[in-house]
Amino acid sequence: MSYDNRKMIFDIKQKGYLKSPELEKALLDLPREKFVSGALKGFAYKDVPISIGHRQTISQPTTVVIMTEALKVKSTDKILEIGTGSGWQSAILSKLTKKNVYTIERIRSLVNQAKENLKELRIKNVKISEGDGSNGLKKYAPYNKIIITAACPEIPKPLLDQLKVGGIMVIPLGDYYSQEMFVITKRTKTKYDKVSIGYFNFVPLMGKYGFEEKKSTLK
Protein backbone atom coordinates (compact mmCIF):
# COMPACT_ATOMS: atom_id res chain seq x y z
CA MET A 1 0.00 0.00 0.00
CA SER A 2 1.83 3.10 -1.18
CA TYR A 3 2.23 6.36 0.70
CA ASP A 4 1.11 8.27 -2.43
CA ASN A 5 -2.15 6.34 -2.69
CA ARG A 6 -2.91 6.86 1.01
CA LYS A 7 -2.12 10.57 0.70
CA MET A 8 -4.39 10.97 -2.34
CA ILE A 9 -7.27 9.23 -0.54
CA PHE A 10 -6.65 11.27 2.62
CA ASP A 11 -6.80 14.53 0.63
CA ILE A 12 -10.09 13.58 -1.07
CA LYS A 13 -11.50 12.65 2.36
CA GLN A 14 -10.33 15.94 3.89
CA LYS A 15 -12.22 17.82 1.18
CA GLY A 16 -15.40 16.02 2.28
CA TYR A 17 -16.04 13.97 -0.87
CA LEU A 18 -15.17 10.56 0.51
CA LYS A 19 -17.57 9.40 3.22
CA SER A 20 -18.07 5.66 2.91
CA PRO A 21 -15.51 3.41 4.67
CA GLU A 22 -16.21 0.66 2.11
CA LEU A 23 -15.25 2.99 -0.74
CA GLU A 24 -12.13 4.11 1.14
CA LYS A 25 -11.08 0.48 1.54
CA ALA A 26 -11.72 -0.22 -2.15
CA LEU A 27 -9.52 2.73 -3.15
CA LEU A 28 -6.75 1.54 -0.83
CA ASP A 29 -6.97 -2.00 -2.25
CA LEU A 30 -6.95 -0.92 -5.91
CA PRO A 31 -3.81 1.07 -6.70
CA ARG A 32 -4.59 3.41 -9.61
CA GLU A 33 -1.08 2.89 -11.01
CA LYS A 34 -2.17 -0.63 -12.08
CA PHE A 35 -4.66 1.00 -14.47
CA VAL A 36 -2.28 3.40 -16.25
CA SER A 37 0.77 2.51 -18.28
CA GLY A 38 4.43 3.37 -18.68
CA ALA A 39 5.68 6.80 -17.72
CA LEU A 40 2.14 7.92 -16.84
CA LYS A 41 2.29 5.72 -13.72
CA GLY A 42 4.17 8.64 -12.18
CA PHE A 43 0.91 10.65 -12.27
CA ALA A 44 -1.29 7.84 -10.89
CA TYR A 45 -1.79 9.50 -7.49
CA LYS A 46 -2.29 13.03 -8.76
CA ASP A 47 -5.94 14.07 -8.64
CA VAL A 48 -6.16 14.43 -12.44
CA PRO A 49 -7.54 12.43 -15.38
CA ILE A 50 -4.80 10.48 -17.22
CA SER A 51 -4.60 9.32 -20.83
CA ILE A 52 -5.22 5.60 -21.43
CA GLY A 53 -4.71 5.90 -25.20
CA HIS A 54 -7.24 6.19 -28.05
CA ARG A 55 -7.99 9.77 -26.89
CA GLN A 56 -9.65 8.34 -23.74
CA THR A 57 -8.89 8.87 -20.06
CA ILE A 58 -9.08 7.25 -16.66
CA SER A 59 -11.25 9.68 -14.70
CA GLN A 60 -10.00 12.05 -11.99
CA PRO A 61 -10.06 10.30 -8.57
CA THR A 62 -12.28 12.96 -6.98
CA THR A 63 -14.81 12.53 -9.81
CA VAL A 64 -14.78 8.75 -9.35
CA VAL A 65 -15.39 9.23 -5.61
CA ILE A 66 -18.25 11.70 -6.15
CA MET A 67 -19.97 9.43 -8.69
CA THR A 68 -19.48 6.28 -6.64
CA GLU A 69 -20.80 7.92 -3.45
CA ALA A 70 -23.84 9.17 -5.41
CA LEU A 71 -24.59 5.64 -6.59
CA LYS A 72 -25.16 4.46 -2.96
CA VAL A 73 -24.07 0.92 -3.77
CA LYS A 74 -25.49 -1.92 -1.66
CA SER A 75 -23.92 -5.37 -1.46
CA THR A 76 -26.94 -6.83 -3.27
CA ASP A 77 -26.76 -4.44 -6.25
CA LYS A 78 -26.35 -5.58 -9.84
CA ILE A 79 -24.52 -2.69 -11.51
CA LEU A 80 -24.01 -1.56 -15.10
CA GLU A 81 -21.17 0.77 -16.08
CA ILE A 82 -21.03 2.40 -19.51
CA GLY A 83 -17.44 3.20 -20.55
CA THR A 84 -15.05 0.61 -19.07
CA GLY A 85 -11.90 2.51 -20.05
CA SER A 86 -9.08 1.19 -17.85
CA GLY A 87 -11.39 -0.86 -15.62
CA TRP A 88 -10.61 1.16 -12.45
CA GLN A 89 -14.17 2.34 -11.82
CA SER A 90 -15.57 -1.16 -12.39
CA ALA A 91 -12.92 -2.65 -10.09
CA ILE A 92 -13.97 -0.20 -7.35
CA LEU A 93 -17.64 -1.10 -7.82
CA SER A 94 -16.76 -4.81 -7.71
CA LYS A 95 -15.55 -4.37 -4.12
CA LEU A 96 -18.82 -2.73 -3.03
CA THR A 97 -21.24 -5.39 -4.26
CA LYS A 98 -21.38 -9.16 -3.93
CA LYS A 99 -23.23 -9.34 -7.26
CA ASN A 100 -21.78 -8.80 -10.72
CA VAL A 101 -20.68 -5.50 -12.21
CA TYR A 102 -21.39 -5.43 -15.96
CA THR A 103 -19.40 -2.93 -17.96
CA ILE A 104 -19.33 -2.11 -21.65
CA GLU A 105 -16.67 -0.40 -23.76
CA ARG A 106 -16.69 0.37 -27.48
CA ILE A 107 -12.91 0.33 -28.11
CA ARG A 108 -11.60 -3.24 -28.42
CA SER A 109 -8.05 -2.62 -27.21
CA LEU A 110 -9.38 -0.91 -24.07
CA VAL A 111 -11.65 -3.93 -23.48
CA ASN A 112 -8.60 -6.20 -23.70
CA GLN A 113 -6.46 -3.96 -21.49
CA ALA A 114 -9.19 -3.68 -18.85
CA LYS A 115 -9.60 -7.49 -18.87
CA GLU A 116 -5.84 -7.82 -18.23
CA ASN A 117 -5.93 -5.23 -15.43
CA LEU A 118 -8.80 -6.98 -13.65
CA LYS A 119 -7.27 -10.42 -14.12
CA GLU A 120 -4.03 -9.26 -12.52
CA LEU A 121 -5.99 -8.07 -9.50
CA ARG A 122 -7.95 -11.38 -9.39
CA ILE A 123 -11.29 -9.59 -9.72
CA LYS A 124 -13.91 -12.10 -10.82
CA ASN A 125 -17.26 -10.30 -10.51
CA VAL A 126 -16.73 -7.79 -13.34
CA LYS A 127 -18.06 -8.90 -16.74
CA ILE A 128 -16.72 -6.80 -19.62
CA SER A 129 -18.58 -6.54 -22.93
CA GLU A 130 -17.55 -4.85 -26.16
CA GLY A 131 -20.10 -2.68 -27.95
CA ASP A 132 -22.18 0.47 -28.00
CA GLY A 133 -23.12 1.05 -24.37
CA SER A 134 -25.53 3.84 -25.30
CA ASN A 135 -27.94 0.94 -25.93
CA GLY A 136 -27.24 -0.35 -22.43
CA LEU A 137 -26.75 -4.09 -21.99
CA LYS A 138 -30.15 -5.70 -22.29
CA LYS A 139 -28.89 -9.24 -21.81
CA TYR A 140 -28.35 -8.80 -18.05
CA ALA A 141 -30.98 -6.08 -17.35
CA PRO A 142 -32.58 -4.81 -15.16
CA TYR A 143 -29.93 -3.18 -12.99
CA ASN A 144 -30.12 -1.66 -9.50
CA LYS A 145 -27.50 0.94 -10.40
CA ILE A 146 -26.18 2.39 -13.66
CA ILE A 147 -23.14 4.66 -13.99
CA ILE A 148 -22.16 6.39 -17.22
CA THR A 149 -18.56 7.52 -17.35
CA ALA A 150 -18.77 9.51 -20.60
CA ALA A 151 -20.57 12.74 -21.52
CA CYS A 152 -24.15 12.21 -22.76
CA PRO A 153 -26.19 14.66 -24.84
CA GLU A 154 -29.36 13.25 -23.20
CA ILE A 155 -30.34 10.30 -21.02
CA PRO A 156 -30.19 7.26 -23.33
CA LYS A 157 -33.72 5.81 -23.28
CA PRO A 158 -32.53 2.15 -23.13
CA LEU A 159 -30.60 2.95 -19.95
CA LEU A 160 -33.71 4.32 -18.23
CA ASP A 161 -35.64 1.22 -19.35
CA GLN A 162 -32.93 -1.09 -18.03
CA LEU A 163 -32.86 0.57 -14.58
CA LYS A 164 -35.03 -1.10 -11.91
CA VAL A 165 -37.80 0.92 -10.26
CA GLY A 166 -36.10 2.32 -7.13
CA GLY A 167 -32.73 2.18 -8.89
CA ILE A 168 -30.20 4.99 -9.26
CA MET A 169 -28.33 6.22 -12.35
CA VAL A 170 -25.42 8.69 -12.25
CA ILE A 171 -24.90 10.45 -15.56
CA PRO A 172 -23.02 13.50 -16.91
CA LEU A 173 -25.35 15.40 -19.28
CA GLY A 174 -24.30 18.24 -21.55
CA ASP A 175 -22.33 19.04 -24.69
CA TYR A 176 -18.81 18.07 -25.83
CA TYR A 177 -17.15 20.62 -23.55
CA SER A 178 -18.94 20.64 -20.21
CA GLN A 179 -21.54 18.53 -18.45
CA GLU A 180 -23.74 18.67 -15.39
CA MET A 181 -23.76 15.49 -13.31
CA PHE A 182 -27.20 14.19 -12.42
CA VAL A 183 -28.37 11.56 -9.98
CA ILE A 184 -31.50 9.97 -11.43
CA THR A 185 -33.78 7.95 -9.18
CA LYS A 186 -36.37 5.87 -11.00
CA ARG A 187 -39.65 6.23 -9.06
CA THR A 188 -42.06 4.30 -11.32
CA LYS A 189 -41.78 2.71 -14.77
CA THR A 190 -42.27 6.13 -16.35
CA LYS A 191 -41.26 8.69 -13.68
CA TYR A 192 -37.89 9.66 -12.30
CA ASP A 193 -36.29 12.38 -10.12
CA LYS A 194 -33.23 14.26 -11.33
CA VAL A 195 -30.82 16.01 -8.94
CA SER A 196 -27.71 17.94 -10.04
CA ILE A 197 -24.44 17.35 -8.19
CA GLY A 198 -22.16 19.74 -10.10
CA TYR A 199 -20.22 20.36 -13.30
CA PHE A 200 -17.60 18.07 -14.84
CA ASN A 201 -15.67 17.40 -18.06
CA PHE A 202 -15.87 13.99 -19.70
CA VAL A 203 -14.92 12.47 -23.02
CA PRO A 204 -18.06 12.02 -25.16
CA LEU A 205 -20.35 9.00 -25.23
CA MET A 206 -20.47 7.96 -28.86
CA GLY A 207 -23.05 5.69 -30.46
CA LYS A 208 -26.73 5.47 -31.19
CA TYR A 209 -27.88 7.51 -28.17
CA GLY A 210 -24.60 9.41 -27.89
CA PHE A 211 -22.90 12.13 -29.92
CA GLU A 212 -22.24 10.33 -33.23
CA GLU A 213 -25.93 9.87 -33.91
CA LYS A 214 -26.63 13.53 -33.06
CA LYS A 215 -23.97 14.74 -35.48
CA SER A 216 -25.16 12.49 -38.30
CA THR A 217 -28.73 13.77 -37.93
CA LEU A 218 -27.43 17.29 -38.63
CA LYS A 219 -26.26 16.33 -42.15
Residues that bind ligand SAM (CB under 6 A): 56-59, 82-83, 85-86, 88-89, 104-107, 110, 132-134, 149-150, 202-203, 205-207, 210
Q: Which is nearer to ligand SAM, 106 or 186 (CB)?
A: 106
Q: What distance in Å separates the CA atoms of residue 134 and residue 141, rounded to the nearest whole number?
A: 14
Q: Which of 2, 20, 51, 59 is catalytic?
A: 59
How many CB atoms lie under 10 A from the CB of residue 4? 15
Closest CB 219 distance from ligand SAM, rounded Å: 20
The total number of residues shown for the chain amounts to: 219
Closest CB 23 distance from ligand SAM, rounded Å: 14
Closest CB 85 distance from ligand SAM, rounded Å: 3
Q: What distance in Å separates the CA atoms of residue 105 and residue 101, rounded to the nearest whole number?
A: 13
Which is nearest to 155 in space by CA: 187, 130, 185? Answer: 185
Q: What distance in Å separates the CA atoms of residue 214 and residue 95, rounded to the nearest whole number?
A: 36
Whether residue 134 lies in the annotated active site: no
Q: Which is nearer to ligand SAM, 51 or 196 (CB)?
A: 51
Which is nearest to 212 in space by CA: 121, 123, 150? Answer: 150
> Coil, strand, or helix at residue 30?
coil
HSE (CB half, 13 Å, CA atoms) of 18?
A: 22
Q: Which is nearer to ligand SAM, 88 or 192 (CB)?
A: 88
Closest CB 79 distance from ligand SAM, rounded Å: 12
Q: Which is nearer to ligand SAM, 51 or 193 (CB)?
A: 51
Q: Which active-site residues does the annotation give? A: 59
